[in-house]
């Protein structure tokens, strides 16, 4: 398969192979990945809270409509 390019494995868009490029940059890259993971968790939490509030509101409106 001469024409195929290998895809790099990534976590949230970060290259796993990038760590071996420059050892001095490793702590910075780890910090960036940890920050991105935390932001992802925060977005998931906010989305969950919005879903809960919308579900409760719709349930209340449905019950009052009967």
More confident residue, 6 or 61: 61
pLDDT digits (tens, 9 = 90+) for 17-66: 555 556 567 788 889 999 999 999 999 999 999 999 999 999 999 999 86
Contact 35, 12 (CB under 8 A): no
Is it the case that residue 3 has pLDDT exceeding 70?
no
Number of H helices, E strands in the chain: 1, 2
Cα–Cα distance between 66 and 60 in angstroms, integer? 10
Is it the case that residue 16 has pLDDT exceeding 70?
no
Give me the pLDDT at residue 29, please. 86
Contact 30, 49 (CB under 8 A): no
Give me the pLDDT at residue 1, please. 45
């Amino acid at each position: 398969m001469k024409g195929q390019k290998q895809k790099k494995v990534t976590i949230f868009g970060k290259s796993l192979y990038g760590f071996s490029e420059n050892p001095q940059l490793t702590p910075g890259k780890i910090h960036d990945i940890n920050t991105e993971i935390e932001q992802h968790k925060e977005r998931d939490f906010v989305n969950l809270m919005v879903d809960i509030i919308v579900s409760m509101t719709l349930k209340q409106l449905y019950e009052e409509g009967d």
